[in-house]
Amino acid sequence: MAEKARTKRVLVAKPGLDGHDRGAKVVARALRDAGMEVIYLGLHQTPEQIVQAAVDEDVDVVGLSILSGAHMTVFPRVLEMLRERGASDIKVVGGGIIPDEDVAELEREGVARLFTPGTSTADIVDFIRSI
């Protein structure tokens, strides 16, 4: 029960080569304004760097933003590496230009939720609070 009450810690990162960081930064700020602890890792992160930071920072949730189309490579890799590190309790969420079909597939593979353009930050905050 004590764990549930603690402030959510969220790592926000931009994996891969894509530099479009508007969405990631807006979401990071909205999570912070909602009272969460946010670690914004910034751009050009490899899955290894993301997983290492998630473990080091002891976060509850990892949020990844990808607009370059590399989502089918990056999300499974991060999930796999979290499992390898025994950290599969860390939930992975994401957002970006991701077609419906790929959303369904990635959610089957273990991504907790993917948010596509038009999502309100309030919905993202509510979802992260609920997991």
Partner 1 sequence: MDTEHYEEEKRRWLEETYHSSPEEGGPFVTVSSEPVEPLYGPGEVAGLNYERDLGFPGEFPYTRGVRSSMYRGRTWTMRQFAGFGTAAETNRRYHFLLERGTTGLSVAFDMPTIMGRDSDDAMSEGEVGRCGVAIDSVVDMQRLFDGIPLDRITTSMTTNAPASILLAFYLVTGERQGARFDQVGGTIQNDILKEYIAQKSWIFPPRPSMRIITDIMEFCSAEVPRWNTISISGYHIREAGSTAAQELAFTLADGMAYVQAGIDAGLDVDDFAPRLSFFFNSHIDFFEEIAKYRAARRIWARVMRDRFGAGKEESLLLRFHTQTAGCSLTAPQPENNIVRTAYEGLAAVLGGTQSLHTNSMDEVLALPTEKAVEIALRTQQVIAHETGVANTIDPLAGSYFVEYLTDRLEAQANQYFDEIEAEGGVLEAIEKGYFQRRIADAAYRYQMEIEKGERVIVGVNRYAHEGESIDIELLKIDPAVEREQVEAVRSVRAERDQAKADEARAELRRRAEGTGNLMPAIIDCARAHVTIGETVNVLKEVFGEYREQPIY
Q: Which residues bind partner 1 (CB under 8 A)?
A: 12, 16-22, 24-26, 28-30, 38, 40-44, 46, 67-70, 72-74, 97, 99-100, 116-118, 120-122
Residue 20 beta carbon to partner 1: minimum distance, rounded to whole angstroms: 7
In 3D, which of 37, 35, 11 has the Cα closest to residue 24? 11
- State the Cα angle at 102 between 101 and 106, rounded to 5°: 125
Residue 129 beta carbon to partner 1: minimum distance, rounded to whole angstroms: 16
- State the Cα angle at 37 between 62 and 113, rounded to 5°: 30
Residue 65 beta carbon to partner 1: minimum distance, rounded to whole angstroms: 11
